[in-house]
Amino acid sequence: MDTYTVNFPSYTIGEHAYAKIREICPRYGKKIVAIGGKIAMAKAKEMILKAVADTELEIVEFIWFGGEAAYENVEKLKGYNSVQTADMIFAIGGGKAIDTCKVLAHAIGKPFFTFPTIASNCASLTSLGVVYHPNGLFRELSFSKIPPVHVFICTKIIAEAPKQFLWAGMGDTFAKYYEATISARNVELDHLNALGVQMSKMCADPIIQYGEKALQDNQRKITSDELERVILAIIVSTGMVSNSVIQDYNGHIAHALYCTIVDLPQIEAKHLHGEVVAYGVLVLLTCDKNDQELERIFKFCKTIGLPTKLADIDVKIEEMDAVLTKTEQSSELARTPYPVTKAMLYDAIVRLEDYNRAHEF
């Protein structure tokens, strides 16, 4: 057996999570460069500055990440003197801002800390980065074994964020459970992969149990136990699974379909990643002939307004032929317990349309 090291980041969650900066960060140096989204930094800046006041920590500069998680923006950030002289990086914002900082930190060998300001994905806890072209089209995954040192999850900021991020994030999160367990089916897993697959259950059950109430509290811009549980599922549970399993178990039909259907202009223009992935989970469960879980996820999606049929994502069945040709060849289907074919996917989509007509409520 090869020797290997597993890195799981620690995290702090709560309305006053940033107060822990003064306890956790000084051991990594003094100079900090903060990089993130414009709105995100506006929300977090005063709280971060308050947290480092009267310490030896110094925020040298707040820098906009560039708007896209692209290598071109990483190269620009490398040129900042504050980046070159900083002891550590604070990554502030959503997935693209945090992944930009992550790729930057990996490239220049600096420790980084994440400050998610929305709960839409697990980027703030993972070592994996998603990289795009400057025009927003997907480029590639950036692999590393180094996750953030610590994640500071301020529930107050997330509660005040637009609800569509939490809404879509729930769809992307429960996908992790179904994709991990199905892709790993019938495989004798080593300890770390088995641990990740077992943890994936915590990506679905809290979402289904607490998601509706969490979304209501997000709409009211208040923190609550239900909202915190859902935030933890989206950011921490999913991130822990992603850090534990090999890429083969990190995706399946739901993400394979997203990666190809996103080429349709109406998807890119009007629909969020997790929203489309939620629809893909229903296609996955239909393909898998898992009627019990299909019913459970279908009811939940209908309850909170996640898509359950093609019309919900502004797609016509006639547009799916070219999409499914690419889906069948997706790298997200590298590990699957049965061959996933274009015909199987098309049949599942048609059957899901019929299921919608039979279960309108």
Q: Does 176 have pLDDT greater than 80?
A: yes
Q: Does 210 have pLDDT greater than 70?
A: yes
Mean pLDDT over the full length of the chain: 95
The tokens for 234 are 């989206």
Q: What is the mean pLDDT of residues 194-204?
A: 97
CA–CA gap between residue 123 and residue 275 (Å, rounded):
17
Indicate the pLDDT class of residue 143, thresholds 50, 70 and 90. confident
Indicate the pLDDT class of residue 161, thresholds 50, 70 and 90. very high
CA–CA gap between residue 177 and residue 335 (Å, rounded):
15
> Rounded to the nearest 5°, which phi and psi values hold at 133?
-75, 160
Q: Does 159 have pLDDT greater than 70?
A: yes
pLDDT of res. 1 = 60
pLDDT of res. 252 = 97
> Structure pTM?
0.95
CA 191 vs. chain centroid, Å, equals: 24
pLDDT of res. 4 = 80
Within 8 A by CB and 6+ apart from 98, the residues are 36, 91, 92, 114, 116, 123, 124
Q: What is the mean pLDDT of residues 146-164?
A: 97
- By percentage, how much of the chain surpasses pLDDT 70? 99
CA–CA gap between residue 118 and residue 132 (Å, rounded):
20
Write the pLDDT tens digit of every residue in 34-69: 999 999 999 999 999 999 999 999 999 999 999 999
Length of the chain: 361
pLDDT of res. 140 = 86
Q: Does 139 have pLDDT greater than 90?
A: no
CA–CA gap between residue 19 and residue 54 (Å, rounded):
12
Write the pLDDT tens digit of every residue in 236-281: 999 999 999 998 999 999 999 999 998 899 998 899 999 999 999 9
Write the pLDDT tens digit of every residue in 337-350: 999 999 999 999 99
Q: Does 155 have pLDDT greater than 70?
A: yes
pLDDT of res. 137 = 78
Q: Does 79 have pLDDT greater than 80?
A: yes
Q: Does 361 have pLDDT greater than 80?
A: no
Indicate the pLDDT class of residue 351, thresholds 50, 70 and 90. very high
